[in-house]
Structure 1
Amino acid sequence: MAGQTPKPSSSTEGFFQSLPTIPPCYNFSASAQKNHDRSDDVVLGRILELYLPRNCGSVGRSIHNLARRALDPSTLQHSVDAEINQPFLRPLTTFGEENRNDPLWTSAGWKALKAIGQEEGLVSSAYETKNTSWNRRVHQFALNHVWSGSAAMTGCPASMTDGAAKLLAAHLGDPDGDQPGRREVMQEAYRRLISRDPKLAWTSGQWMTERTGGSDVRGTETVARRLTQDEMLQGASHDAHSMPLGPWRIDGFKWFSSATDSEMTVMLAQTSKGLSLFYAPMRRRVASASASETELNGIRIQRLKNKLGTRQLPTAELELKGVRGWLIGEEGRGVKEVATILNVTRLYTAAGSAAGWGRGLAICRAYTQARKVQGSLLEDNRQHVRWMAGETVKYWAAMHWTFFGIALQGSIEQDWDLMVRNTKAAPLIPQDKKQAATLLRLITPALKALVSVASVQGLRACMEGLGGVGYCENNEDGGILNVAKIFRDTLVNPIWEGTVSVMAEDVVRVITDRRLGDGRVLENVLGQWTRSVLQFCQRLLADECALVQKRLERFIQTTEKADKAELLWRGREIIGHVQAIVCSCLLMYDACVDGDVVALTVASRYVRSHAGYEMQSSSQWHSEALKDKRIFLGAGSVAIGKL
């Protein structure tokens, strides 16, 4: 009635926004031909249909089940607990002595999430060698993708555990040489790193960074020396698991060490023959004490880092005094050895970034379908949907690029005929392992750098898409809408394992390495691969193929004319070209496999956006708006007949 005073809202009355429902990102049905149409994260479903054969239902079910466990209220509560109850140090005992037993405290939620990851095979699935008919790495990283958004950064120790397992696997057959007992120690450590039993399983740290410089390990000031026979008889002789301690003593200071609560670590140290790599257990038995009493293995946690994000993860400065360890590989070859770990952890960095981005977009989709603005749902706001469709195109590109790197890694580790030939991706993955390894070596640094950066930018957009809700640290309702936390945690990825500049320099190192690709890696590896993919895509995306072909030729010509100094100067420009060429090829290939209208639209938009293309005609904007909705909100948002 006119003139009637409206009733004021209060803390208990008035408008309350309904809580958006975040669906599991992946749905699997053995009877469905296209599980991507049933999945909230459509591109993940398409990727799995691309790289996995149809006869591996157990893989699909495991990803399906973990996608639901990731959103279970108990899991979300563990994640909130790890975020709120952050690690802290208890450096002294009651009477002021150094606490060598248990100085580091982590929350129950953090420990529970680590255990779930071990049970679900987030590391072990890549090492279960009885599974030969599918790409184990694709399976493994798909599990990590659906889990990561709820994992509270436990994926960080998982990545280093995987890298350590990959490293030790290469040395399981090494003879003891002058380190009696080493082989048995390495085999036991490897067994624990790849275990699914949380009571048995280990995680591993990775200690490289020192105050002299992050990625520049040449200035390492940690020193290792062989103990004398007399010294070997003094003090502790066995680690906390009754394995003999190594014959090397390690002293120094590590400035940035993640996963400080792990059971073992791999670290770099200087010896008389140069930089070398060592294995060390975190704990040892206390000399002249009861058999059950243990202490840190010469490690003093000086302080925990106060970080912008990844606050659940105990990252510390460590003083090393008398750490007992074992030399891995040859003395003086530490950088070569640690590269094995870095190749794996850089894939994890990209994959973790994409997973966080995927959770952010899932939240945005759900919010868009629940939030009303000026009387209409946000999903009917064409500007908003167009913007989010553009973000989704970028996300699809990042996902395809990331999983291509993962698929290459798996193809190098397994038999191509057994697990690639019967997939839709067979023309994408080189049969020659040397060719596949060189292509992976070229793209991994660029992949790590640019997917990390794009994910940060994408998550910032997701925060904006939720308005003020996106900016708040929402730990209510299991923290399911806390995009801000994911954003903070993802910010580390363009830095960790090498900044963007360091990664660009690494790509230049590959381009100028005369041992790779007969001295012309861009022409003989990237060029050959790209032209093969373009030939496959020519029928459905001819104009887009021409744009990519033109970019490839100009990129190769310009690069081959430049000396190394100029290439370094152009480093970020170079990795941008690698990204545009590889992502364009992957999106087009995926779209052309089945002619899917949404995938074709995504591919075309991505290619044209990287060619400086702008839509000139305004007469088609209505149909483009419908395509926006299909890209962002999925097949069910618009009837196919309307496109």
Structure 2
Amino acid sequence: MATRPISSSTKGFFQELPVLLPLFTTSDTKTTNTESKPADAISDDKAFARVLSLYLPSSAQQPLHAVHNMSRLSLRPDILVHSVDADINSPKLRPFNTFGQENKNDPLWTTTGWKALKAVYQEHGLISAAYDTRNQDWNRRVHQFALEHAFICAGAMVSCPMAMSDGAAKLLQGHLDKADGDQPGLNKVVNEVFRRLTSNNPREAWTAGQWMTERSGGSDVSGTETYARRLNDSELAEEAQKGRVLDAHGMPLGPWCINGFKWFSSATDSDMTMLLARTDNGLSVFYAPTRRSVHSTNNALPASELNGIRIQRLKDKIGTKSLPTAELELKGVRAYLIGKEGQGIKEISAILNMTRLYTAHSGVGYWARGLQVCRAHSRVRKVRGGLLQDNPAHLRWMASETVKYTAAMHFAFFGIAMYGALEQDPDKMVRSTKTSALIPSAKDGLAILLRLLTPVMKSQITVASVAGLRESMECLGGVGYCENNEDGGLMNISRVFRDALSGPIWEGTVSVMAEDVVRVLTDKRLGGGTIIQTVYTPWVRRILTACKSTFSAEIELVQQTLTALEDIVKSVDKEQLLFQGREMLQHLEWITCAVLLMFDACTDEDEVTTEIARRWAKSNPINPTAFQTLNGPNWKELSKMDRRIFLGASGLELANVTAKL
């Protein structure tokens, strides 16, 4: 009787190591012999390639080559070693020096890998590409976010400070030409900070923090307790005597003094911050450098220190381990007021809109890596004598996940393309692309549509990406559950999953986004409070009309859901809209993605793309009829039952308990 070989740690069956292919390959490159085939035929991420072919003109070879190269850079071992380093060596806080004095110089330690990845982002233009006005022939935001998409998983959460840096640059861009007013040096400071935020030279480029969240309010910044006070002449003179005149780069410190406490501050190691603080005239936004110069005759002592900032502790998070997130005590932070006092919410919206767009895109960026690994694994994994890529049940599962991902990809880049069109010339941005019928040419309508859909994108894509990455982990079995940092961490979906978990919470939870959508729907300043009827529905129906020859049955499904949405918005008050806020998000997401997928398919009648659109159209998570039946006074009774189901107490019992607390 023949004996079977006994396996050991060095002998026996070993799975072939999956090889990840670059996400995007341009058809116009000398490094391949595939010039005759379109990019979506030769790229590993077909959805990504099709999105780029939609929003970038075929003549825009510069951004396409840049994305091609970035897709390869993200797989290089010398880059991946920084990603692993940043993830496994979390930031450390060293609040005191050897003899117990407060460490005002360098209390926060971050790894070499984290710093190196920041430099990669800056050098390859992942911020500067959006502000390079020499490029007028293509959508700069699509160019920028395509680079981000190709690199995000190798970047180990550097995308977070980059998002805030981009948002800060966008805010300050609106103040470049404004006079100093009663704040000497303001114009020079704003222009220099903007230059550094948008520089692609790592030696001088800056990153920005965003300090808004406080213990009192969380996402609700109306509860801000941090207070800013304008220093008078005698106080400024006293500050000068203490050597507090310039920041660490020789620019003047602002005339405002800020005191308070910030509960969450991501990217605490940044060079500057935009923060909210209350003044006597209301909530206002301020620019503050994180470091200021120190006068000393001893060359052995540091030349700068933190600008009135004390890092109290670092947050211990389930994911985003490489990213320093801290609680900060602000005590005498010198700053410049940006814009008018009391207009802080209006000013900071420039950052919020930007960071929400980044958060939505991050979801598809992480999800792309999960499916990239799944494809590579399926090509080499043998099960019962055959490859996974030939297993019908496995293929059905993965195809379903790819449909969801493709919808999210189109949704995210539609928002990105709209944002870029608003920054440039909407007509010029679409004239030489396939999207002339897709993106509204009138700026007013374009801005309203983007305002409506941004919170929908942010909430729905981030939630879907978390679910999608869990599926990707399952695809690898036990390996998917492990923290695999061998081979550059390319197979470590667990790390990507942990990082993706922040998406549905960061920049406002799903409930906050639902509230924001209702705010937009009922805002009389936006289309008279009827933007579904005047902006969204006309856009949907215009695109559907162009697709009716291919998707007649699917269009009927979309029309039914759109009618249900219109009826609810027209017939109920704001209170009920808030009650149904999450369903509103789902409806808007499903309709918008259906429109985008059908539009893409109709550009070339591609068989696979057409089938993806059809499968999405059959996947509506909410029955339109059931959605409409909530209409009427009965919803309050439903809400009471929701309370009892969740809390196990009647409204009266709950009131008594609350009163005792």
TM-score normalized with structure 1 length: 0.94
- Among 290, 293, 304, which residue is 1:282 paired with? 290
Alignment of 1:478-493 (within 5 A): 478-493=488-503
SS state at 1:363 partner? helix
Could you tell me whether the CA contact under 8 Å between 1:203 and 1:263 is conserved in 2? yes
Q: Establish whether residue 546 from structure 1 lines up as the match of residue 550 from structure 2.
A: no
The list of structure 1 runs, each at least 4 consecutive aligned residues, that deviate by more than 6 angstroms after superposition, is none
1:442 aligns with 2:446: no
1:126 to 103, 118, 130: 130
Aligned equivalents of 2:444, 2:185: Cα separation in 1: 34
* Paired residue type of 1:547: L
In the alignment of these two chains, the number of paired residues is: 611
Equivalent residue for 1:354, pick from 364, 371, 378: 364
Indicate conservation of the 8 Å contact 2:266/2:326, yes or no: yes
Listed as ranges, the gaps of 5+ residues in structure 2 are 29-34, 624-661
Deviation digits for residues 152-211 of structure 1, max 9, x if unmatched?
Answer: 000000000000000000111111111111010000000000000000100000000111
Q: Is the 8 A contact 2:544 2:555 kept in 1?
A: yes
Q: 1:303 to 1:588 in 2, by over 3 A?
A: same
Q: Quick one: which amino acid aligns to residue 269 of structure 2? A: D
- CA deviations 1:310-331 (Å, max 9, x no partner) are 0000000100000000001000
Q: Distance in 2 between matches of 1:68 and 1:298?
A: 42
| Secondary structure, aligned partner of 1:163 | helix
In structure 2, the residue matched to 1:500 is 510
User: Alpha-carbon deviations, 1:256-304, whole Å to 9, x = none?
Assistant: 1000110000000010001000000000001455697000000001111
The alignment status of 1:13 with 2:29, answered yes or no, reads no
The SS at the match of 1:99 is coil
CA distance in 2, matches of 1:32, 1:245: 58
Letter of the aligned partner of 2:144 in structure 1? Q
The CA distance in 1 between the partners of 2:386 and 2:589, in whole Å, is: 38
Q: 1:521 aligns with which of 531, 551, 555?
A: 531
Q: Is the 8 A contact 2:381 2:387 kept in 1?
A: yes
CA distance in 2, matches of 1:47, 1:15: 40
| Secondary structure at 2:164 match in 1 | helix
Residue number in structure 1 paired with 2:632: none
Structure 1 residue identity aligned to 2:88: I
- One-letter amino acid of the counterpart of residue 455, structure 1: S
- Is 1:255 matched up with 2:263? yes
Q: 1: CA distance between counterparts of 2:173 and 2:392?
A: 53
Of residues 24-33 and 138-147 in structure 1, the stretch that sits farther from structure 2 once superposed is 24-33
1:570 paired residue among 580, 585, 597: 580
Q: Secondary structure at the match of 1:609?
A: coil
1:487-510 alpha-carbon deviations (Å, 9 max, x no partner): 000000100000000000000000
Aligned to 2:599: 589
Note if contact 2:586-2:621 (Cα within 8 Å) is conserved in structure 1.
Answer: no
Paired with 2:361 and 2:78, the residues of 1 have a C-alpha distance of 25
Q: What residue number does 1:209 align with?
A: 213
After superposition, give the CA deviation of every residue in 1:440-465 in whole Å (9 maximum; x if it has no partner).
Answer: 00000011000000000000000001
Which of residues 299, 320, 325 is equivalent to 2:309? 299
Please tell me whether the aligned partners of residues 211 and 265 of structure 2 are also in contact (alpha carbons under 8 angstroms): yes
Deviation at 1:98, TM superposition (A): 0.6
Report whether the alignment pairs 1:390 with 2:400: yes
Describe the superposition over 1:554-580 as per-residue Cα deviations: whole angstroms up to 9, x where unpaired.
210122101000000000000111001
Partner Cα separation in structure 2 for residue 83 and residue 416 of structure 1: 40
Q: How far 1:379 moved relative to its partner? A: 1.1
**1:622-633 to 2 correspondences below 5 Å:** none
> Distance in 2 between the 1:464 and 1:166 partners?
40
Q: TM-score scaled by structure 2? A: 0.91
Q: What secondary structure, in the 3-state scheme, does the structure 2 residue paired with 1:427 have? A: coil
Instruction: Kindly provide the amino acid, as one letter, of the partner of residue 140 in structure 1.
Output: Q
Tell me if structure 2 keeps the 8 A contact 1:270–1:276: yes
- What letter is aligned with 1:29? S
| Superposition pairs of residues 162-173 of structure 1, within 5 angstroms | 162-173=166-177
Alpha-carbon deviation of 1:107? 0.6
**Alignment RMSD (CA, Å):** 1.2
State the 1:230 CA deviation. Answer: 1.5
Q: Which residue, out of 344, 350, 356, partners 1:340?
A: 350
Q: Which residue of structure 2 aligns with residue 460 of structure 1? A: 470
> SS of the counterpart of 1:284?
strand
Name the amino acid aligned to 1:35. A
Alpha-carbon distance, 1:27 to partner:
0.0
- Between the aligned partners of 2:449 and 2:622, the Cα distance in structure 1 is 27
Per-residue CA deviation, residues 55-108 of structure 1 (Å, 9 max, x unaligned), is 111110000001000000011111001111111011111111111000111111
Structure 2 residue aligned with 1:135:
139
SS in 2 for 1:280: strand
Q: Secondary structure at the match of 1:540?
A: coil
CA distance, structure 2, for counterparts of residue 438 and residue 33 of structure 1: 38
**Corresponding residue SS for 1:420:** helix
Could you list the runs of 5+ residues in structure 1 that have no partner in the other structure?
Answer: 614-643
Identity, in percent, stands at 57
1:459, 1:289 → 2: CA distance? Answer: 56
The equivalent of 1:557 in structure 2 is 567
Q: How far does residue 435 in structure 1 lie from its aligned partner after superposition?
A: 0.5
C-alpha distance in 2 between matches for 1:271 and 1:611: 46
Shift of 1:416: 2.2
Give me the whole-angstrom Cα distance separating, in 1, the residues matched to 2:571 and 2:310: 52
Report what 1:451 is aligned to: 461
Instruction: Indicate conservation of the 8 Å contact 1:518/1:524, yes or no.
Output: no
1:611 Cα deviation from its structure 2 partner: 7.2
Cα deviation, residue 596, structure 1 = 0.3
Asked if 1:239 corresponds to 2:247, the answer is yes
- Verify the 8 A CA contact 1:126 1:136 in the aligned structure 2: yes
Whole-angstrom distance in 1 between the partners of 2:427 and 2:524: 30
Looking at structure 2, the residues matched to 451 and 186 of structure 1 have their Cα atoms a distance apart, in angstroms, of: 34
Q: Is the 8 A contact 2:141 2:416 kept in 1?
A: yes
Q: Which residue is 2:640 aligned to? A: none
SS for the counterpart of 2:278 is strand
| Deviation (angstroms), 1:5 | 2.8
Q: Provide the secondary structure at the position in 1 that maps to 2:201.
A: coil
Residues 237/320 of structure 1: CA separation in 2 closer, same or farther (3 Å cut): same
Q: Distance in 1 between matches of 2:428 and 2:497?
A: 39
Distance in 1, matches of 2:125 and 2:559, equals 41
Partner of 1:34: 38
- Aligned partner of 1:604 in structure 2 is 614
- The answer to whether the 8 A contact 2:281-2:341 is kept is yes
Aligned residue for 1:469, secondary structure, equals helix
Distance 2:70 2:119 in 1: 14
CA distance in 1, matches of 2:556, 2:38: 30
